[in-house]
Amino acid sequence: MGERIRFYLDEHIPKAVADGLRHRGILVTRAQEVGLRRASDEQHMEYARRENCVVVTKDSDFLRFHREGLTHSGIVYLDRDATIGEIINALELIAETLSSEDMQDHVEYW
């Protein structure tokens, strides 16, 4: 398996998700931690690409970027209502089964 996935949580993903992932040893950064609160979606995408992080979001604009062919380090699109625990479990499964290379220009829908 290749390099481990690093997640970048869009600003509307609860802090508890980051806390739960970190507790499980998964690498994660929140938009708020890197000064990107209220940044444009383009800025979020650029940061994630530069840092080789998979964006975790509920914002469909990121799917548009993907459809338009914008190169990215991966997107996990949360398209359903889920508890914090369910989101953590889903992201942990992704981190355990896919590598950073697998996620290049790929979207996982959950």
pTM of the model: 0.95
* pLDDT, mean of residues 67-87: 96
Of 3.40.50, 3.40.30, 1.10.132, 2.60.34, the CATH number of 6-109 is 3.40.50
Among 88, 93, 108, 90, which residue's Cα sits nearest to residue 22? 88
Average pLDDT over residues 63-90: 96
Average pLDDT score over residue span 84-108: 98
pLDDT (mean) for 25-42: 96
The structural domains of the chain, with segments of one domain joined by +, span 6-109
pLDDT at 97: 97
Answer whether 74's CB lies under 8 Å from 93's CB.
Answer: no
User: What average pLDDT score do residues 9-33 get?
Assistant: 97
Confidence of residue 2 (pLDDT cuts 50, 70, 90): confident
